[in-house]
């Protein structure tokens, strides 16, 4: 029984030239192999006040933007982590 709700759905790797690599064990995920994908949002602060040094920019002038970064995991690691 899986705690935490949603199970990860494994996809089949169809990439021909740009091989996927497992984030966990660093092994290549060959074409036709199943893999899982996780997305992480990475916060990044930015400001429109670029004409003065960073230290002088007031707190209210900063805004947080999020970059989405995707991570691939091989089937073995997905099973080991209990995601499938």
DSSP per-residue letters across the chain: --TTSPPPPPEE---SSS-EE-TTT--EE-TT-EEEEEEEEEEEEEES--SS-GGGS-GGGEEEEEEEEEEEEEHHHHHHTT--
Supply the pLDDT for residue 1. Answer: 41
Supply the pLDDT for residue 61. Answer: 93
What pLDDT band is residue 5 in, cutting at 50, 70 and 90? Answer: low
75-84 confidence digits (pLDDT tens) = 999 999 999 8
21-70 confidence digits (pLDDT tens) = 999 999 999 999 999 999 999 999 999 888 889 899 999 999 999 999 99
Supply the pLDDT for residue 49. Answer: 87
Q: Find, among 79, 80, 71, 81, the residue nearest to 22 by Cα.
A: 71
């Amino acid at each position: 029984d899986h705690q935490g709700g949603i199970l990860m759905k494994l996809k089949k790797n169809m990439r021909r030239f740009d091989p996927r690599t497992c984030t966990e064990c660093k092994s290549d995920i060959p074409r036709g192999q199943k893999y899982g994908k996780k997305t992480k949002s990475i916060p990044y602060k930015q400001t429109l006040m670029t004409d003065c040094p960073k230290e002088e920019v007031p707190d209210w002038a900063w805004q947080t933007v999020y970059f989405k970064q995707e991570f691939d995991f091989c089937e073995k690691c997905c099973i080991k982590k209990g995601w499938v």
